[in-house]
Amino acid sequence: MTTHAHDTKPATHGGSGMSRMNIGALGMSIFIGSEIMLFASFFTAYFIARSNAVQWPPVFEGSTAFEVPKVITGVNTAILVFSSFTVWWAEKRLAAGDRKGLIRGLTVTMMLGATFLIIQINEYVHLGFTPQDKIFGTVFYCLTGLHGAHVFVGLNALGFSLNRAKRGEFSHGNCGPLTAASIYWHFVDVVWVFLYVVVYLV
């Protein structure tokens, strides 16, 4: 019964040998499945409200309908989409062994993200309606607010990664938290493009 013990025993331990980076990225990808469904639940409420409405956007006061700034938000969308490319570039630099490039890329990304948030808050201030104003106000603020909260969380994740990167952490193939943060950031951008098209444009 002891015969085949030694020859089948693997030399190293640790299962199928997935590195830390892959585990982090995989976990984040699965979690994003969850996040997509969270947005989907709010979009469900949005679409049900929209399909129930006689006209969309509905009437706000008197005869004027709710209005949202398409152009400024369009520019803002471009800023956020651009930040996806900068974080991608930052990771590229890390892969090339250029730590300074990584730090620059992350810094620019965070600045772009923060700009997006500030413009969005500025928009809230000047919109003229509140979450309490009929179903349009409710779904508009909840969808954009939910997204804004995700941008905030993404900024934090990038910030922590930047902090660690400045301390000389991360290298190509060993940058799980950074990969996870950047995947999250891409997700936040993609959701925004969808949200912009559905809520602002169509």
Q: Taking CB under 8 A as the rule, does residue 123 contact another protein?
A: no
- What's the CA gap between 92 and 101, in Å, rounded? 9
Helix, strand, coil % over all residues of the chain, rounded to 5 = 75, 5, 20
Q: How far is the CB of 71 from another protein (least distance, A)?
A: 26
Is residue 22 at the binding interface for another protein, with CB under 8 A as the rule? yes
Per the DSSP assignment, residues forming a β-bridge with 174 are 171
- Which of 156, 163, 69, 151 is CA-nearest to residue 113? 151
CA dihedral sign, ordered 19, 23, 29, 35: negative
Which residue in the set 21, 53, 102, 125 belongs to the binding site for another protein (CB under 8 A)? 53
Q: Which of residues 8 and 71 has its CB atom nearest to another protein in the complex?
A: 8
Using CB under 8 A, which of 75, 160, 193, 201 touches another protein? 160
Number of residues in contact with another protein, rule: CB under 8 A?
Answer: 52
Residue 62 as a binder of another protein (CB under 8 A): the answer is no
61: which strand partners?
Answer: 64
For another protein, give the closer residue by CB, 53 or 72: 53
DSSP assigned state of 58: P
Q: Does 65 bind another protein (CB under 8 A)?
A: no
Residues within window 80-119 making contact with another protein, judged by CB under 8 A: none
Q: Which of 94, 122, 135, 192 lies at the binding interface for another protein (CB under 8 A)?
A: 135
Hey, which residues does 170 pair with through a beta bridge? none
10 sits near another protein (criterion: CB under 8 A): yes
134: left (phi over 0), alpha (psi -120 to 50) or beta: left
Q: Which of 31, 60, 85, 152 binds another protein (CB under 8 A)?
A: 31
Amino acid at 10: P
Q: Residue 44 interacts with another protein (CB under 8 A)?
A: yes
Q: Which residue has the tokens 């808050």?
A: 121
Question: Contact, 116 vs 109, CB < 8 A?
Answer: no
Residues in the site for another protein, rule: CB under 8 A?
A: 1-2, 4-6, 8-10, 12-16, 18, 20, 22-23, 26-27, 30-31, 33-35, 37-38, 40-42, 44-45, 48-49, 52-53, 58, 131-132, 134-139, 141-142, 160, 163-164, 166-167, 177
